[in-house]
Structure 1
Amino acid sequence: MKRLYPDIGCSDDGYLETGDGHTLYYEVSGNPDGIPVLYLHGGPGAGLSPNYKRFFDANRYRIIGFEQRGCGRSKPFGNLENNTTAHSLADIQRLRRHLNIDQWVVFGGSWGATLALLAAIDQPETVQALILRGVFLGRQQDRDWFLCPDGGGAQFFPEYYEQFVSRVPPPVTTEAICAHYQQEFAGNSDVSRLAALKRWYVWEERLSRVNLPPGTGDITAHYPIPLMTSLAKLECHYLANHCFIAENFILDNLHRIAHIPGTIVHGRYDMICKSDAAYQLHKSWECSDLLIVPEAGHSTSEPGIAYALCRATRDMSRFIREQKK
Structure 2
Amino acid sequence: MSDLKGLYPPLAAYASGWLKTGDGHQVYWERSGNPQGKPALFIHGGPGGGCSAVHRQLFDPQRYDVMLFDQRGCGRSKPHASLENNTTWHLVEDIERLREMVEVDKWLVFGGSWGSTLALAYAETHPTRVSELVLRGIFTLRKEELLWYYQDGASRFFPEKWERVLSILSEDERQDVIAAYRKRLISDDPAVQLEAAKIWSLWEGETVTLLPAASSSSFGEDDFALAFARIENHYFTHMGFLEHDRQLLQNVSKIRHIPGVIVHGRYDMACQVQNAWDLKKAWPEAELNIIEGAGHSFDEPGILDCLIRATDKFAS
The TM-score normalised by the length of structure 1 is: 0.90
Partner of 1:197: 197
**Cα distance in 2 for residues equivalent to 1:226 and 1:306:** 27
Q: Which residue matches 1:208?
A: 208
- With normalisation by structure 2, the TM-score equals 0.93
Q: Given the alignment of the two structures, is residue 86 of structure 1 paired with residue 83 of structure 2, yes or no?
A: no
Query: In 1, Cα distance between the equivalents of 2:265 and 2:53?
Result: 22
* 1:137 maps to which of 129, 136, 140: 140
1:258 matched residue in structure 2: 256
Deviation at 1:44, TM superposition (A): 0.4
In 1, the alpha carbon distance for the partners of 2:138 and 2:185 equals 27
Per-residue CA deviation, residues 65-111 of structure 1 (Å, 9 max, x unaligned), is: 11100001111111000000110011010111111011000000100
Q: Which of 30, 45, 49 is 2:48 aligned to?
A: 45
CA distance in structure 1 between the aligned counterparts of 2:310 and 2:297, rounded to whole angstroms: 16
Are 1:272 and 2:270 an aligned pair?
Answer: yes
Q: What residue ranges of structure 2 are gaps of 5+ in the alignment?
A: 1-7
For 1:47-126, list aligned pairs within 5 A: 47-126=50-129
Match of 2:241 among 241, 244, 252: 244
Give the aligned partner of residue 3 of structure 2.
none
Where structure 1 has 5 or more consecutive residues not aligned to the other structure, the ranges are: 319-325
The alignment yields a C-alpha RMSD, in angstroms, of 1.9
How many residue pairs get aligned? The number is 308
Aligned to 2:224: 227
Distance in 2 of aligned mates of 1:6 and 1:157? 35
Contact 1:206–1:212 under 8 Å retained in 2: yes
Q: Matched residues in 2 for 1:287 and 1:201: separation?
A: 35
- Aligned partner of 2:167 in structure 1 is 166
Partner of 1:321: none
Name 2:292's counterpart in structure 1: 294
Give the AA of the match of 1:155: R
CA distance, structure 2, for counterparts of residue 80 and residue 161 of structure 1? 26
Give the distance between the partners of 1:13 and 1:215, measured in 2 at CA.
Answer: 26
- Contact 2:266–2:290 (CA under 8 A) maintained in structure 1: yes
Q: Deviations over 1:294-318 (max 9, x none)?
A: 1111112312221111111111223
Q: Which residue of 2 aligns with 1:183?
A: 183
Instruction: State, as a whole percentage, how many aligned pairs show the same letter.
Output: 42
> How far did 1:171 drift?
4.9
Tell me the amino acid that sits aligned with residue 199 of structure 1. Answer: I
